[in-house]
Amino acid sequence: GAVVSQHPSWVICKSGTSVKIECRSLDFQATTMFWYRQFPKQSLMLMATSNEGSKATYEQGVEKDKFLINHASLTLSTLTVTSAHPEDSSFYICSARDRGRGYEQYFGPGTRLTVT
Amino acid sequence: AQSVTQPDIHITVSEGASLELRCNYSYGATPYLFWYVQSPGQGLQLLLKYFSGDTLVQGIKGFEAEFKRSQSSFNLRKPSVHWSDAAEYFCAVGPYSGAGSYQLTFGKGTKLSVIP
């Protein structure tokens, strides 16, 4: 139980285009989802927190117009990287919190984004 | 601001040997502490957590960790390492907001290699 999936697992896009990453909780309802960014040999950096049906809360320094987050249902959150640039290339990881299981976060496998 | 330090970037141990991964945190109140393991292509999996009570915490896969407030440490240990334990290990600290959600601050991770 408590499985979180991400799609796609790997994506390459051209500079200037937009890319959407999906995060799904497969066997539980996720009232809260988190989006992280991980650079090579670095820790996970929290980008934003999203609660179902409300606007995401972005961390300081994260451009909310560039990283659009939608949490339209209790099992799906999406991160759209708009007008991607090579510096946006990174590993993006989502996690989801199942209120019924306490306060643990369950992590997806991550999405590798490469912008050329 | 809270922070987590994992002093060892890469550790190599022989299979069957004991293991200790170090984690030091900086936090102004009683911390909530976690250890996660990340294998290639896999999401972060929670090994164990400390919220309160007994300072020696048992986790999955034979891991344990000890919370030492005086040293601001939460080191992860395993008495006998298996080849399948080779992975990246992350220590994290998080406050409990009381609103049913919390944010995690991660260390940079320690990569564990196991020699057969």
Confidence of residue B96 (pLDDT cuts 50, 70, 90): low
| Residue A39 confidence (pLDDT) | 84
Closest CA to A71 of A60, A61, A57: A57
Tokens matching residue B1 = 């601001």
Closest CA to B48 of B91, B80, B81, B104: B91
Whether A29 and chain B come into contact, CB under 8 Å, resolves to no
The tens digit of pLDDT for each residue in B75-95 reads 999 999 999 999 999 999 986
Whether B26 and chain A come into contact, CB under 8 Å, resolves to no
Reduce the DSSP state of residue B60 to 3 states and report it.
Answer: helix
The strand pair at A57-58 and A44-51 is best described as: antiparallel
The tens digit of pLDDT for each residue in A63-78 reads 999 999 998 889 999 9
Beta carbons of A97 and B101 less than 8 Å apart: yes
pLDDT tens over chain A, length 116 residues: 688 999 999 999 999 999 999 999 998 888 889 999 998 777 899 999 988 888 899 999 999 999 999 988 899 999 999 999 999 999 999 999 877 766 678 899 999 999 99
Comparing CB atoms, the residue among A32, A34, A43 nearest residue B107 is: A43
Q: Is the pLDDT of residue B100 over 80?
A: no
Beta carbons of A4 and B43 less than 8 Å apart: yes
Write phi, then psi, for B15 (nearest 5 degrees): -60, 135
Determine the average pLDDT of the residues in B67-74: 94
A108 vs B contacts (CB less than 8 Å): 43
At a CB cut-off of 8 Å and minimum separation 6, what does A15 contact? A84, A85, A86, A115, A116
Determine the average pLDDT of the residues in B52-71: 94
Q: How does DSSP classify residue B72?
A: T
Residues B93, B52: Cα–Cα separation, whole Å: 13
